[in-house]
C-alpha cells in the first residue's frame, strides 16, 4: 500500500456488486500478479495472477486483466500491482450503483426549462428559472393559414437538449422512448426510486414524473390544426455560455416534418398506455396522448415526403436557423417505431399492417436517427398483450434480438478491456458513451428474453466502461468516480461559478472525429480521443439522449444485480 497511485490500472471507479464480475485492467508492460488491499486495514485480502497480455485492436497497446470476481467481501479496496502501484479506491457492496442511477435520472431535473431549481432539490446548483417559452414565434417555415409566421404560441417546460438550451422533438423521441421503456420493463422497481425532485412523494413514480415534464412540452409542439409536429423550439443561433435566465433571445418553432411527427406519435402512444394507470391523478392525459399520437400519425401519412433540411430551409426562410439539425436521412425506422407503439396501445391490426415492420436491412443500435430497435423491444415486452397477428412474428423477433446481442458479446474475452464496448474503432463516434449504454440495453433486453446471465455480465461490463474501465481512464458520469469529468460542454455547469459540474450528466465521451477542433487533443487514437475541456462539444458535451440509456443501464443492473 506504500505504492503510489497508478492511473493505468483501469476499473469502475465506483465499485462492484459482491456476487458479480469484478475486473481491473492494467495498461502497460507485462506484469505477473496483483493484490486486493483493504483501504481501511491495509491488509492484503486477495492475491491473483494477471491474465496473458492482450493487444488493443485499436491502439495496439497491451493490457492484462485482473479478475477478482471470486472475492466478494463488502468493503473499500485498491487493486495493487507490485512495482507498478495502486488503482483508485473502489467499493464492493450491494446496490453499489444506486446513487449513480438516481443521479442520472436527477440529471434530467437539472435540464428542466421554464422553472427555477430551488436549493431543496438542486443543492448548490440551484438557479433561476430560464426560458418561460410562453411567447414562441411561428417561424416562416412552419407558417399555415391558421398560424401565420410571427403568430405567438406557448410551449413551456421540456428539457434542454444538451449543453445548449434548445428543445428538439427528434432527440426527445428516443430519450422519452428509452425512459418510458425503462418504466415498462421494471415498473415495480420504480415504486421505490426517488430522486428528490419537486414531485417526489406524490403517487406517481419519479421516473414518470420527470418524463411528464418533457411530455407536456412535447404536446405543445403539435400544430392543433392539422396534427403535424414542429421539428424544434430554438433560438436562431446557439446562446453564449450563460445561465438559462440570461439567455433571452427570441425563440421559434420550426418546420413540421414526417420524422418529428412519427417520433412524437410513438412517444405519445407509449405514454398513453402507461399513463392510463394513473388516470385518477392525471385526468384525461392518457386520452390526450393517444389522440395526439393518432393525429401525428395521420399527418405523416398525408405528408410522407416532408423532411427537415436546415440548409435548404435557410435558403428560403428568415431568420436563418443554425442550431442542432437532427436531420435524419431515412424515415423507415420511425414508421416502424410509430406503427409498433400505436399497434401495442390500440391493438388495432391496421397499424401493424401499415408498414413493413421487419425489413431485411441490418439492425442497428438505437440512436436519435435510428429507432427501429425501440419498436422491437416494445413488441417483445408486450408479447402477451398482442393480437394473434403480432404474436405470430414474436419468436423470430426474439431470435433477432438474441443474435444481435450474441454478436455484441462475440470476442469480448479478447478485447483489451474485456468490454463489449470498444472492439473496433467504429464504436467511437459523437456520443459514444450512449453507444456503450445502448449496447448495454440491447444485452439487458436479451437477458429479459432468455434469462441467460452472460448478457447481464456483458451489460455490467459496459457500465464499468462508462465509470472508468476504458482507454481514457475517465469516469464519464459527472460527480462519480475518482477521475471525473470536470468541464463538460454544458452552459449551466460553465456559467454557474461552481467548481463541480452539475452531477449525474453523461459526457458524450471518446470521439476521434474531434469536430470541435479545440486545442489540447493529444491523440487521434479512436478509443483515447477525449478532451475534458468546455470547448470540446464533440467529446465532452452532455445530452438527454445519452443520459437516458445511462439511467436505463444503471437502474436495471440495480434492479437485477442487487
Ligand atoms: O448527437 C448529435 C450527433 O449525433 C451529431 O453528430 C451532432 C452533429 O450534428 O449533433 C449531436 O447533437 C447535438 C445537437 O445537434 C444540438 N444539441 C447538442 C447535441 C449533442 O452534441
Ligand 1, atom 10: nearest CA belongs to which residue? 324
Residue 333 lies in a domain: yes
* Alpha-carbon separation of residue 250 from 246, 247, 412 (angstroms): 12, 9, 50
Query: Which of 223, 190, 219 shows the shortest CA–CA distance to 205?
Result: 190
The answer, yes or no, to whether residue 1 has pLDDT greater than 60, is no
Residue 420 lies in a domain: no
Q: Catalytic: 532?
A: yes
Q: How far apart are CA 549 and CA 561, in angstroms?
A: 17
Give me the mean pLDDT over the 69-82 stretch: 98
CATH code: domain of residue 47: 2.60.40.10
Residue 415 lies in a domain: no
Q: Are residues 250 and 265 in the same domain?
A: yes
Distance from the CA of 174 to the center of ligand 1, in angstroms? 13
Beta carbon of 308 within 6 Å of any ligand 1 atom: no
Beta carbon of 161 within 6 Å of any ligand 1 atom: yes
Atom of ligand 1 minimally distant from the CA of 546: 1
Query: Which of 188, 36, 200 shows the shortest CA–CA distance to 558?
Result: 188
Q: Are residues 63 and 106 in the same domain?
A: no
Beta carbon of 162 within 6 Å of any ligand 1 atom: yes
Average pLDDT, the chain: 98
* Alpha-carbon separation of residue 99 from 102, 121, 428, 452 (angstroms): 5, 15, 27, 26
Beta carbon of 239 within 6 Å of any ligand 1 atom: no
Q: Are residues 331 and 222 in the same domain?
A: yes
Q: Are residues 77 and 178 in the same domain?
A: no
Give me the mean pLDDT over the 272-292 stretch: 96
The answer, yes or no, to whether residue 2 has pLDDT greater than 90, is no
- State which of 34, 67, 92 marks the end of a domain: 92
Give me the mean pLDDT over the 330-335 stretch: 98
Beta carbon of 516 within 6 Å of any ligand 1 atom: no
Strand segments, DSSP code E, in 301-425 are none
Query: Which of 304, 298, 305, 334 shows the shortest CA–CA distance to 226?
Result: 298
For position 3, what pLDDT does the model report?
73
The answer, yes or no, to whether residue 531 has pLDDT greater than 80, is yes
For position 562, what pLDDT does the model report?
63
Q: How far apart are CA 102 and CA 547, in angstroms?
A: 11
Q: Are residues 138 and 274 in the same domain?
A: yes
- State which of 92, 125, 157 marks the end of a domain: 92
Residue 276 lies in a domain: yes
> Please, which pLDDT band fits residue 521 given cuts at 50, 70 and 90?
very high
Distance from the CA of 542 to the center of ligand 1, in angstroms? 10
Q: Are residues 187 and 305 in the same domain?
A: yes
Beta carbon of 541 within 6 Å of any ligand 1 atom: yes
The answer, yes or no, to whether residue 426 has pLDDT greater than 60, is yes
For position 329, what pLDDT does the model report?
87
Query: Which of 359, 354, 471, 457 shows the shortest CA–CA distance to 408?
Result: 457
How many structural domains are present in the chain?
2
Beta carbon of 543 within 6 Å of any ligand 1 atom: yes
Q: Are residues 168 and 219 in the same domain?
A: yes
Ligand 1, atom 2: nearest CA belongs to which residue? 430
Residue 212 lies in a domain: yes
Residue 465 lies in a domain: no
Atom of ligand 1 minimally distant from the CA of 326: 15
Q: Catalytic: 519?
A: no
The grid coordinates of residue 562 equal 442487487
Residues 317 and 140 sit within 8 Å (Cβ to Cβ): yes
Q: How far apart are CA 512 and CA 425, in angstroms?
A: 9
Q: Are residues 180 and 245 in the same domain?
A: yes
Q: Are residues 55 and 17 in the same domain?
A: yes
Q: Are residues 26 and 164 in the same domain?
A: no
The answer, yes or no, to whether residue 224 has pLDDT greater than 60, is yes
For position 136, what pLDDT does the model report?
98
Q: How far apart are CA 215 and CA 483, in angstroms?
A: 35
Q: Are residues 342 and 204 in the same domain?
A: yes
The grid coordinates of residue 383 equal 408479447
Read off the pTM.
0.98
Q: How far apart are CA 301 and CA 454, in angstroms?
A: 42
Point out the catalytic residue in the list 209, 489, 490, 528.
Answer: 489
Beta carbon of 328 within 6 Å of any ligand 1 atom: no
The answer, yes or no, to whether residue 23 has pLDDT greater than 70, is yes
DSSP labels, 233-272: EE-SSPPPS--GGG-----EE--B-HHHHHHHHHHHHHHH
For position 99, what pLDDT does the model report?
98
Distance from the CA of 429 to the center of ligand 1, in angstroms? 11
For position 264, what pLDDT does the model report?
99
DSSP labels, 29-42: S---EEEEEETTT-
DSSP 502: P
Query: Which of 201, 174, 175 shows the shortest CA–CA distance to 111?
Result: 175
Give me the mean pLDDT over the 202-208 stretch: 97
Ligand 1, atom 12: nearest CA belongs to which residue? 324
Distance from the CA of 224 to the center of ligand 1, in angstroms? 29
Residues 503 and 104 sit within 8 Å (Cβ to Cβ): no
Q: Are residues 179 and 297 in the same domain?
A: yes
Q: Catalytic: 496?
A: no
Main-chain dihedrals φ then ψ at residue 140, nearest 5 degrees = -50, -30
Distance from the CA of 408 to the center of ligand 1, in angstroms? 25
26 contacts: CB under 8 Å, gap ≥ 6: 8, 9, 10, 34, 50, 63, 64, 65, 66, 81, 84
Pocket-testing residue among 158, 159, 162, 492, ligand 1, by greatest number of atoms within 8 A of Cβ: 162
Atom of ligand 1 minimally distant from the CA of 166: 17
Residues 5 and 86 sit within 8 Å (Cβ to Cβ): yes
Atom of ligand 1 minimally distant from the CA of 543: 20
Ligand 1, atom 5: nearest CA belongs to which residue? 430
> Please, which pLDDT band fits residue 212 given cuts at 50, 70 and 90?
very high
**Using CA atoms in the order 465, 466, 468, 469, what is the torsion angle rounded to 10 degrees?**
0
- State which of 356, 377, 397 marks the end of a domain: 356
Residue 413 lies in a domain: no
Residue 322 lies in a domain: yes
Q: How far apart are CA 108 and CA 207, in angstroms?
A: 10
CA angle 450, 453, 454 (to 5 degrees): 100
Query: Which of 363, 341, 343 shows the shortest CA–CA distance to 353?
Result: 343
User: Which residues span the domain enclosing 266?
Assistant: 98-356
CATH code: domain of residue 259: 1.50.10.10
Q: Catalytic: 164?
A: yes
Amino acid at each position: 500500500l506504500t505504492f503510489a497511485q497508478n492511473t493505468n490500472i483501469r476499473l469502475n471507479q465506483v465499485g462492484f456488486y459482491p456476487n458479480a464480475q469484478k475486473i481491473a485492467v492494467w495498461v502497460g508492460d507485462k506484469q505477473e500478479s496483483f493484490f486486493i488491499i483493504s483501504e481501511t486495514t491495509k491488509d492484503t485480502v486477495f492475491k491473483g495472477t494477471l491474465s496473458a497480455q492482450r493487444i488493443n485492436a485499436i491502439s495496439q497497446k497491451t493490457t492484462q486483466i485482473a479478475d477478482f470476481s471470486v472475492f466478494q467481501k463488502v468493503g473499500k479496496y485498491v487493486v495493487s500491482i507490485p512495482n507498478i502501484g495502486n488503482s483508485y479506491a473502489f467499493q464492493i457492496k450491494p446496490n453499489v450503483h444506486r446513487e449513480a442511477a438516481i443521479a442520472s435520472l436527477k440529471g434530467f431535473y437539472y435540464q428542466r426549462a421554464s422553472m427555477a431549481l430551488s436549493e431543496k432539490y438542486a443543492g448548490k446548483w440551484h438557479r433561476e428559472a430560464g426560458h418561460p417559452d410562453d411567447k414562441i414565434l411561428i417561424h416562416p417555415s412552419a407558417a399555415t393559414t391558421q398560424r401565420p409566421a410571427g403568430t405567438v404560441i406557448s410551449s413551456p417546460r421540456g428539457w434542454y437538449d444538451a449543453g445548449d438550451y434548445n428543445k428538439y422533438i427528434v432527440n426527445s423521441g428516443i430519450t422519452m422512448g428509452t425512459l418510458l421503456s425503462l418504466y415498462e420493463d421494471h415498473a415495480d422497481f420504480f415504486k421505490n426510486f426517488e430522486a428528490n425532485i419537486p414531485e417526489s412523494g406524490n403517487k406517481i413514480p419519479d421516473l414518470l414524473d420527470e418524463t411528464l415534464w418533457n411530455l407536456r412540452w412535447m404536446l405543445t409542439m403539435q400544430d392543433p390544426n392539422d396534427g403535424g409536429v414542429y421539428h424544434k423550439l430554438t433560438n436562431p443561433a446557439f446562446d453564449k455560455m450563460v445561465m438559462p435566465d440570461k439567455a433571452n433571445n427570441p425563440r421559434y418553432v420550426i418546420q413540421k416534418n414526417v420524422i418529428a411527427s412519427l417520433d412524437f406519435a410513438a412517444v405519445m402512444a407509449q405514454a398513453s398506455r402507461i399513463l392510463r394507470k394513473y388516470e385518477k391523478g392525471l385526468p384525461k392525459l392518457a386520452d390526450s396522448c393517444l389522440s395526439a399520437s393518432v393525429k401525428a400519425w395521420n399527418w405523416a401519412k398525408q405528408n410522407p415526403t416532408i423532411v427537415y433540411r436546415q440548409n435548404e430551409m435557410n435558403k428560403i426562410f428568415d431568420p436563418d436557423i443554425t442550431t442542432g439539425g437532427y436531420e435524419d436521412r431515412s424515415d423507415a425506422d420511425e414508421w416502424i417505431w410509430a406503427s409498433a407503439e400505436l399497434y401495442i396501445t390500440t391493438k388495432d391490426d391496421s397499424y401493424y399492417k401499415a408498414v413493413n415492420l421487419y425489413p431485411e436491412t441490418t439492425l442497428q443500435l438505437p440512436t436519435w436517427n435510428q429507432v427501429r430497435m425501440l419498436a422491437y423491444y416494445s413488441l417483445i415486452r408486450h408479447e402477451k398483450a398482442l393480437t394473434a397477428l403480432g404474436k405470430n412474428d414474436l419468436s423470430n423477433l426474439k431470435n433477432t434480438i438474441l443474435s444481435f446481442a450474441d454478436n455484441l458479446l462475440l470476442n469480448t474475452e479478447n478485447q483489451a478491456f474485456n468490454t463489449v464496448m470498444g472492439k473496433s474503432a467504429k464504436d467511437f463516434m459523437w456520443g459514444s458513451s450512449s453507444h456503450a449504454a445502448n449496447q448495454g440495453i440491447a444485452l439487458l433486453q436479451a437477458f429479459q428474453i432468455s434469462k441467460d446471465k452472460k448478457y447481464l455480465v456483458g451489460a455490467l461490463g459496459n457500465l464499468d466502461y462508462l465509470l472508468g474501465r476504458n482507454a481514457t481512464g475517465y469516469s464519464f458520469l459527472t460527480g462519480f468516480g475518482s477521475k471525473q469529468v470536470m468541464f463538460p460542454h454544458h452552459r449551466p455547469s460553465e456559467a454557474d461559478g461552481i467548481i463541480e459540474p452539475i452531477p449525474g450528466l453523461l459526457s458524450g465521451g471518446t470521439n476521434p472525429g474531434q469536430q470541435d477542433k479545440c486545442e489540447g487533443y493529444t491523440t487521434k487514437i479512436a478509443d483515447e480521443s477525449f478532451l475534458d475541456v468546455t470547448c470540446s462539444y464533440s467529446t465532452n458535451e452532455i445530452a438527454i439522449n445519452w443520459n437516458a440509456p445511462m439511467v436505463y443501464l444503471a437502474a436495471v443492473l440495480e434492479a437485477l444485480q442487487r
